[in-house]
Amino acid sequence: DGGITQSPKYLFRKEGQNVTLSCEQNLNHDAMYWYRQDPGQGLRLIYYSQIVNDFQKGDIAEGYSVSREKKESFPLTVTSAQKNPTAFYLCASSIMAGFYEQYFGPGTRLTVT
């Protein structure tokens, strides 16, 4: 059963704490992406990775960090430096970076109070 999994579905944290969101894929895709979605804002790219041990900043990388130590895993850490972390976070993958179809996970809704 191939696809992308994100965990947890809902996450609650206190302000000032770092939190790591999980994203795993078994599609054997090289490229993986993290997006943030706020109401009425569409998707904004946080980070993306074209290949293992490589990643690039997207449009809103400040306050976030990622790693890509394994092909199937691309965790996102929301640090205390992110001023408005409460949002819906979506992970996606594609066979290669660029104009290929992206496959999305179910998302993680993060609430920071």
Which residues make up the interface to another protein (CB under 8 A)? 4, 31, 33, 35, 40-43, 45, 48, 50, 56, 58-59, 88, 90, 92, 97-99, 101-107, 109
**Pick 16 or 99: Cβ nearer another protein:** 99
How many CB atoms within 10 Å of residue 104? 15
| Residue with Cβ nearer another protein (13 or 88) | 88
Q: Cβ of residue 2: shortest distance to another protein, in angstroms? A: 14
89 SS3 class: strand
State the minimum distance, in angstroms, from the CB of residue 48 to another protein: 6
Which residues contact residue 56 at a Cβ distance below 8 angstroms, ignoring those fewer than 6 apart?
47, 48, 49, 50
Residue 51 vs 81, nearer CB to another protein? 51
How many C-beta atoms lie closer than 10 Å to residue 83's C-beta? Answer: 7
98 vs 87: CA distance, rounded Å: 25
